[in-house]
Amino acid sequence: MNSWESLRLTDRVEPGVKVLFVGINPGVKSAETGHHFAGPSNRFWKLLWESKLVPEPLTYREDTRLPEFGLGITNLVPRPSPGIDTLKPREYVAGWTNLERKIDRYKPQVVALVGVTLWRAILPLLPMVDAERKRLANAKCPGLQRATIHGARVFVLPNPSGRNANFSYAEMLSAFRSLARYRTKQEKD
């Protein structure tokens, strides 16, 4: 067993959260440091700043500050791994049960799923009719989805990992900026 396999990250979420970011599971570097999105090639923190979701640059070491800005962060699966290929279906199901409880408890306005893969993983677990699920599966991703979870709107973001070759940095930033615009609009309404 590796030294990081038994480590778990602490959620950074408090009452009053407006946007709850949800990752699939922590990477090894995150497990070792105890901070979310700590991988050296991960662009999450840079995207938060450049999209204006936070008013100042932050690093992974400052993830405890997210609630100051109405943001929270958690993972679907708490077990760290070098990649998602070792995650088991039962971990996704158990993670979904825990995530639903968190969403119901904290009542964010938006659940921001960090990764299209995460969206596709939880879509079969959402309580809905199959026709609606199929329509959502074919919807434009990333971006705001028509689905809700305990009243929170679902927003899908590209995974900011340096290993994500499916989206350019510009596309990632565009998605994060769309989330920032949506959040600003919600706060005005």
Concatenated DSSP letters for the chain? --TTTT--PPPB--TT-SEEEEES---HHHHHHTSTT--TT--HHHHHHHTTSSSS---GGGGGGGGGGTEEEEESS-S--SSGGG--HHHHHHHHHHHHHHHHHH--SEEEEE-HHHHHHHGGGS-S-HHHHHHHHTS-SSEEEEEEETTEEEEEE----TT--SS-HHHHHHHHHHHHHHHHHHHH-
pLDDT digits (tens, 9 = 90+) for 79-133: 999 888 889 989 998 999 999 999 999 999 999 999 998 998 888 888 776 777 7
Residue 180 has pLDDT above 90, yes or no: yes
Domains detected in the chain: 19-188 (3.40.470.10)
pLDDT digits (tens, 9 = 90+) for 151-175: 999 999 999 987 777 899 999 999 9
